[in-house]
Structure 1
Amino acid sequence: MKLSPVPDLPEFDAGDDVPALVSERVDLRPDDVVCVASTIVSKVEGRVADLADFPAGPRAREVATRLERATGERKDPRFAQAVLEESTDLLMESPFLLTETRFGHVTVNAGIDRSNVPGGDLLLLPKRPSESAARIAAGLDADRVVVTDTCGRPFRHGQRGVAIGWAGTPAARDWRGERDRDGRELGVTVQAVVDELAAAANLVAGEGAGGTPVVVVRDFEFGDHDGSDALFRDVEGDFVRQALRGWSFEDG
């Protein structure tokens, strides 16, 4: 498997044609996987916003005050309002905002970015990233597209790339029912391949001012496995989320 960044891409703006700009710079094969950073998807879809677009309501002011008490730092209640509006659930209110986005991704601050946002204060995640991935794939010679983002992980330091949308490929390959080298049947192994592709692409794309938001993965083979699109856990099966509902940072 080989990963290559698409070179010399411009700064993206609302309405730009991502498939055309990528296709001008690289010759794609039908079985390539094109990993696209959510930042450029958000920009071309007009998801740049200003703090002034989110006048803070009572709930946002309450959340900002709670964060200030927990961290000792000034928190803008307008940012808290933006997070609330981009979320369906607020799982933790301090010492940071852990949220569920409207498309099911659990992340800090609803994934709202405040870096590399020319022309605005905030960059919101795409509204429906898998639909975005399908639109991009429709304009490319490659059939598979993964929309990537970076986020932290429970129990570990640092961030890594994850998939928030995908098209043309299952999110995971299901090994259940297959056998290991000793002949034992696998009962729980479901491999989140779109997350692994996103993490690999992030190693090539880099962070900060790297400016390489699209990476082509060549010669990745899904293999003869069942596929699954169940990447985001349902609330009923997410025991960590259920535990968070009964826990308070202030209570310890």
Structure 2
Amino acid sequence: MELFAVPDVPEIRPGDDLAAVIRDRADLREDDVVCVASTVVSKAEGRLFDLADFPAGPRAREIASNLEAVTGDEKDPRFAQAVLEESVELLMESPFLLTETRFGHVGVNAGIDRSNVPDNDLLLLPKRPAESAERIRAEIPADRVIVTDTCGRPFRHGQRGVALGWAGMSASRDWRGETDRDGRELGVTVESVVDELAAAANLVSGEGDDGTPVVVVRDFDWGDHDGSDKHFREIEGDFVRQALRGWEHE
């Protein structure tokens, strides 16, 4: 397959027609996969805020104070308040905030960004990334859209691209029931395709000030495999989360 960045994407402002920006700058095919950074999706959807929009409550002030004591760095309780309001569960509160967002993604600080926000303090993730992907998909020639972000993963150094929402395709290829080269039946292999494509797109879009938030994946072949829409683990099978719930930092 081939990946290329969509050129000349301007600074996206609230209310901008992001699908039109993509459509006008890329000669898309029906079977392309269009990977769009959550940064520009959030900007188009008006997810820009200032710290003043999040007056800190007692819980946020407590969290900020504890983080200051552990890290030695000054922490703004208004930022902690923003994280709390964007989360359904606080999995860790020291030495950093690990949370579950309202749409199921687990990451640091509820994915709130403080970079590439020229006129505001904070950029929040899209409220419902799957719906965002579907709206873009409905207005462009390509049938598959992934809304991406970058974040760290447990036991790994550095950040990588991950999928937050997707439309027009399953999240995973399900290899269970197929066989390996020795004829052994695969019993657990479910391949997170949307994450893999998001990571590949991130190699092209880059980080920092590259200004290329949209990447087209061309000639990706799903193959003759079943699909699965399960992506974020449910608590019953998420043993790491269960362990975190029972862990107290000392």
TM-score, normalized by length of structure 1?
0.98
Shift of 1:249: 2.3
Q: Which residue of 1 aligns with 2:90?
A: 90
* Cα shift readout 1:56-75 (whole Å, capped 9, x = no counterpart): 00000111111111101110
Structure 2: distance between partners of 1:25 and 1:103: 30
Structure 1: distance between partners of 2:27 and 2:223: 24
* Cα shift readout 1:97-119 (whole Å, capped 9, x = no counterpart): 00000000000000000000122
Shift of 1:248: 2.0
1:135 aligns with 2:135: yes
1:211 aligns with 2:211: yes
1:24 aligned counterpart, secondary structure:
helix
Q: Which runs of 5+ in 1 are unaligned?
A: none
- Paired letter, 1:167: A
Q: Which residue of 2 aligns with 1:23?
A: 23
Taking the TM superposition and a 5 Å limit, the aligned residue runs for 1:138-217 are 138-217=138-217
Shift of 1:26: 1.3
Q: CA RMSD in A?
A: 0.5
1:63 aligned counterpart, secondary structure:
helix
Q: Which residue of 1 aligns with 2:46?
A: 46
Structure 2: distance between partners of 1:17 and 1:98: 32
- Paired letter, 2:148: T
- Paired letter, 1:54: F
- Paired letter, 1:194: V
Taking the TM superposition and a 5 Å limit, the aligned residue runs for 1:92-131 are 92-131=92-131
- Paired letter, 1:204: V
Q: Which residue of 2 aligns with 1:57?
A: 57
- Paired letter, 1:93: E
1:243 aligns with 2:240: no
Shift of 1:85: 0.1
Structure 1: distance between partners of 2:245 and 2:7: 45
Shift of 1:130: 0.3
Residues matched between the structures, number:
250
Q: Which runs of 5+ in 2 are unaligned?
A: none
Q: Which residue of 1 aligns with 2:4?
A: 4
Q: Which residue of 2 aligns with 1:70?
A: 70
Q: Which residue of 2 aligns with 1:13?
A: 13
* Cα shift readout 1:140-180 (whole Å, capped 9, x = no counterpart): 00010000000001011100000000000000010000000
1:99 aligned counterpart, secondary structure:
strand
2:161 aligned counterpart, secondary structure:
strand
Structure 2: distance between partners of 1:152 and 1:70: 21
Structure 2: distance between partners of 1:51 and 1:236: 36
Structure 2: distance between partners of 1:237 and 1:137: 32
- Paired letter, 2:139: G
TM-score, normalized by length of structure 2?
0.99
Percent identity over paired residues: 78
